[in-house]
């Protein structure tokens, strides 16, 4: 048995094409959606990520702005830049690229981003609305996972999901979204983490297994239920290149469908960031 490979690049391209059409509709009203990225410090990976987001904006006709600040910037200086972007009508969405230097509070920056422009959905207002099932901006990576499943024709309602990882970026918000009462959710969700006893016993029960722990090949083929769908969120740089949190070689022989790394969830995260930005632009222009 060899699993079907879920092509995140192809599905993300479909999403970007849909966004481009929405951008054109806004441009017909004299509106060009704009996304700003605040980058503090010189983390090489962060520069790559922000560059990919700017390129994606250009492809769909959005305006993008990158605000680069030195690692020596004070928290107050970064907050002032966020306040400027909050007030800038050209900017409909804003992200603060993580990580930030240790002397700056990530939470303080996330709180400072205006909720209507918080397209990363990391601020407490938007996360609270997500928890209540009322979020109109959704966390980009969990949103991407759900969209990937829906566009791949994989049923979500009634399925047993196991989410390995409980981060505020992926695991927790995804589990909340999947358990809610709507057509893209209604799943039964188990969250596993570092204190879970006999994790393999849980993962082997999953109809759909999502792994987001940030550890290379943490989940092996013998931990997967035959025929299960496996969504690998991890991106780990190793001597052998970029690998996921799932041992792909072992998993592909057991699973029914699986996302590769790279080329799976990663492109979807950027695509859903664009969806959130155009959604924010529409809301700011016409209300919601």
In the set 97, 207, 232, 247, the catalytic residue is 97
Q: Which residue has the tokens 């605000």?
A: 67
- DSSP annotation of 118: B
CA of 5: how far to CAs of 111, 161, 257, in Å? 38, 19, 6
User: Please, are residues 37 and 50 in contact by the beta-carbon 8 Å criterion?
Assistant: yes
Cα–Cα distance between 72 and 130 in angstroms, integer? Answer: 34
Cα–Cα distance between 210 and 130 in angstroms, integer? Answer: 19
Contacts of 262 (CB under 8 A, 6+ apart): 235, 242
What phi, psi does 76 have (nearest 5°)? -60, -40
What phi, psi does 270 have (nearest 5°)? -65, -40
H-helix or E-strand spanning residue 129: helix 124-131
User: Distance of alpha carbon 214 from its chain centroid, rounded?
Assistant: 14
User: Distance of alpha carbon 52 from its chain centroid, rounded?
Assistant: 14
Is 97 part of the annotated catalytic residue set?
Answer: yes
Beta pairing class for 236-238 and 229-232: unpaired
In the set 110, 117, 120, 245, the catalytic residue is 120
Q: Is 7 exposed, middle or buried (0-12, 13-18, 19+ CB in 10 A)?
A: middle
Is 120 part of the annotated catalytic residue set?
Answer: yes
Is 75 part of the annotated catalytic residue set?
Answer: no
Catalytically active residues are: 53, 97, 120
């Amino acid at each position: 048995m060899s699993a079907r490979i879920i092509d995140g690049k192809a599905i993300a391209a479909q999403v970007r094409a849909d966004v481009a059409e929405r951008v054109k509709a806004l441009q017909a009203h004299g509106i060009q959606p704009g996304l700003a990225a605040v980058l503090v410090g010189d983390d090489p990976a962060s520069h790559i990520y922000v560059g990919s987001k700017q390129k994606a904006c250009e492809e769909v006709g959005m305006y993008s702005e990158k605000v680069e600040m030195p690692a020596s910037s004070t928290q107050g200086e970064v907050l002032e830049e966020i306040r400027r972007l909050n007030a800038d009508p050209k900017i409909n969405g804003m992200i603060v690229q993580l990580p930030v230097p240790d002397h700056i509070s990530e939470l303080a920056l996330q709180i400072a981003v205006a909720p209507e422009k918080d397209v990363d959905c990391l601020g407490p207002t938007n996360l609270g609305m997500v928890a209540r099932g009322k979020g109109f901006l959704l966390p980009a990576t969990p949103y991407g996972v759900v969209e990937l499943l829906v566009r791949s024709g994989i049923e979500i309602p009634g399925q047993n999901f196991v989410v390995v990882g409980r981060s505020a970026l992926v695991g927790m918000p995804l589990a909340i979204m999947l358990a809610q009462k709507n057509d893209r959710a209604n799943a039964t969700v188990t969250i596993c983490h570092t204190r879970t006893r006999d994790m393999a016993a849980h993962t082997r029960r999953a109809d759909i297994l999502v792994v987001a722990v940030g550890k290379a090949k943490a989940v092996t083929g013998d931990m997967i239920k035959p025929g299960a769908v496996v969504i690998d969120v991890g991106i780990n740089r190793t001597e052998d290149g970029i690998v996921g949190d799932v041992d792909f070689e072992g998993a592909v022989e057991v699973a029914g469908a699986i996302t590769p790394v790279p080329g799976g969830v990663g492109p979807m995260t950027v695509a859903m960031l664009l969806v959130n930005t155009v959604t924010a632009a529409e809301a700011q222009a016409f209300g919601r």
